[in-house]
Amino acid sequence: MLIAFSVAPSGNGSADGSVHDAVAAAVTVVRESGLAHRTTSMFTEVEGEWDEVMDVVKRATEAVMPYGSRVSLVLKADIRPGYTGELDAKIDRLETAIRDADSA
């Protein structure tokens, strides 16, 4: 399965509203998991089996908890049994479709 998630604290008291330290704590959990992953400016994507992916999301959320009085978690999942390597394969198929459309 692929998941895209975003986790951030609220009520952190930061004057500029910055959450980068909390996000760094969450991304560290993801990187240490050993699962295939990608972090962008808005979400972190993780690929693996259901239980291992959800465990990473839980631990990343727990890593953010000390940074605020509450935590917000946004999660989107693509559950496609029998497929692996989709973190990159989905992007490859998209780029091929764009190239094919441009050459038509």
User: Using one digit for the tens of pLDDT, what is the confidence trace for 21-78?
Assistant: 999 999 999 999 999 999 999 999 999 999 999 999 999 999 999 999 899 999 999 9
Inter-residue contact 5 to 64 (CB < 8 Å): no
What CATH number is associated with residue 83? Answer: 3.30.70.930
d(CA 104, CA 85): 28
Domain with 18, as residue range(s), is 2-103
The reported pTM is 0.88
State the total domains in the chain. 1
Bridge partners (DSSP) listed for residue 4:
45, 76
How are beta strands 44-47 and 36-39 bridged, if at all?
A: antiparallel
